[in-house]
Amino acid sequence: MKIDIISIFPEVFEPVFSVGMSRLAQERGLIDINAHDLRDFTEDKHRQVDDEPYGGGPGMIMKPEPFFAALKSLVGESPFVLSGGHRTILLTPQGKKLNQKMLSEFSRAKHLVVLCGRYEGVDARVGTFVTDEVSLGDYVLSGGEIGAMVLVDSVGRLISGVLGGEASLDEESFSNGLLEYPQYTRPASWLGFEVPPVLTSGDHKAIREWRAARARFMTQTKRPDLLEERETDL
């Protein structure tokens, strides 16, 4: 998968994607992540990417032309004519809240372009040439860069071959609408807390049943909204 990120602070991505899973995935040729400076797609000598809002108000609004020029350069065609394997994602508080189902859809694309806003927001006309508007949650960040990091990291681990144990994806939190069951490692006894005996019993059927029951219990206790959504979808 090819992933292009457009930001006025492209340098913030290098430390994040040069370590761990992202670094290994890029070295194996499974993901190609590139961050681009939005100012490189401006045409004025001041490399201006923002301007005052029409109608007045505080702050500055990011201009549509640089984003359009960046997309045209990266996609290789008019941003209004998108192929099935291409997704353009704008990080914005007005977007749909990011979830595992959306990430799964994004992971099947051949090319993702992620747009990072700043200041008071992005000119509304940018929305006419994106395929998806995405939000991390009901709060406001100083820019889209952190959201882009979250999105790219979450999508990357869903790409075949990136994780060593593909089966682990099926049991992770949110993959089936439930939180993941509790996990334990050595020592079996620590500060008076014991690992549940079923996990050391060697009875694989009993372990599967215990994990399924605990996953549902934890979801009901900590995130009942997920259980309600899951049952609605069934």
- Give the model confidence (pLDDT) of 125-148 as tens digits: 999 989 999 999 999 899 999 999
Among 48, 80, 73, residue whose Cα is nearest residue 63:
48
pLDDT on residue 76? 74
What tens digit of pLDDT does each residue of 174-209 get? Answer: 667 899 999 999 999 999 999 999 999 999 999 999
Question: What is the band of 163 on the pLDDT scale with cuts at 50, 70, 90?
Answer: confident
How would you label 21-45 residue by residue, b for 16+ Cβ within 10 Å and e otherwise? ebeebbeeeebebebbbbeebbeee
Of the two residues 35 and 232, the one the predictor is more confident about is: 35
For residue 21, what are its two tokens?
Answer: 């899973």
Sign, Cα dihedral of 32, 42, 135, 148: positive
pTM: 0.88
CA dist list (Å): 142 to 92, 116, 182, 204: 11, 10, 35, 48
pLDDT the model gives residue 79:
64
The least confident of 8-17, 80-89, 144-153 is 80-89
CB 3 within 8 A of CB 30: no
Mean pLDDT of 160-177: 69
Where exactly does CATH 3.40.1280.10 map onto the chain? 2-156
Q: Outline which parts of the chain fall under CATH 1.10.1270.20.
A: 168-233
State the pLDDT at residue 207: 97
Domain 2-156 - what CATH class?
alpha beta
Greater model confidence, 49 or 175? 49
pLDDT at 231: 72
Among the four given CATH numbers 1.10.1270.20, 3.30.499.10, 1.10.10.10, 3.20.20.450, the one describing domain 168-233:
1.10.1270.20
* Sole residue written with tokens 């960046």: 70
Closest CA to 39 of 116, 139, 124, 154: 116
